[in-house]
């Protein structure tokens, strides 16, 4: 699903499976959910990476760019009956 840009400074680009973008999206997830996962189950880096890689293969992800810099990710999946809004992470370093 193509997510329209929001001029003048917000763009959505399909996430590509490069090592850099996979790591960027994983670090966003870790930053956003890590404290809650740690509190509930503890953090297992290998398991979390495996789950993250699986989600990236299953769902269409977009990289959110603010002022042409990566700022977050969002998963939107167009289905016949509805649009599924999936994982949404924003970083605090932009």
**Residue 37 counted as domain residue:** yes
Tokens coding 7: 């001029």
Tokens coding 22: 């996979």
**Residue 77 counted as domain residue:** yes
pLDDT digits (tens, 9 = 90+) for 5-37: 888 899 999 998 889 999 999 999 999 999 999
**Residue 5 counted as domain residue:** no
**Mean pLDDT score of the chain:** 90
The strand pairing partners of 6, in sequence order, are: 10
- Please tell me the pTM assigned to this model: 0.82
The CATH number of residue 35's host domain is 3.40.630
**Residue 4 counted as domain residue:** no
Q: How many domains does the chain have?
A: 1
**Residue 16 counted as domain residue:** yes
**Residue 32 counted as domain residue:** yes
- Looking at residue 13, its pLDDT comes to 92
User: What does 3-58 look like in DSSP terms, one character per residue?
Assistant: PPPBTTTEEEEEPP--HHHHHHHHHHHHHHHHHHHHHHT---HHHHHHHHHHHHHH
**Residue 3 counted as domain residue:** no
CA 2 to CA 60: how far, in whole Å? 10
Domain carrying residue 69: 10-90
Predicted confidence (pLDDT) at residue 38 exceeds the cutoff of 90: yes
């Amino acid at each position: 699903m193509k997510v329209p840009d929001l001029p003048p400074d917000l763009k959505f680009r399909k996430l590509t499976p490069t090592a850099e973008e996979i790591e960027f999206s994983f670090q966003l997830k870790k930053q956003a959910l890590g404290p809650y996962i740690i509190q509930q189950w503890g953090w297992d880096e290998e398991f979390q990476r495996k789950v993250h890689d699986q989600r990236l293969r299953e769902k269409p992800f977009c990289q959110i760019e603010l002022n042409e810099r990566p700022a977050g990710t969002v998963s939107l999946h167009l289905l016949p009956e509805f649009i599924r809004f999936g994982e949404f992470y924003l970083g605090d370093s932009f």
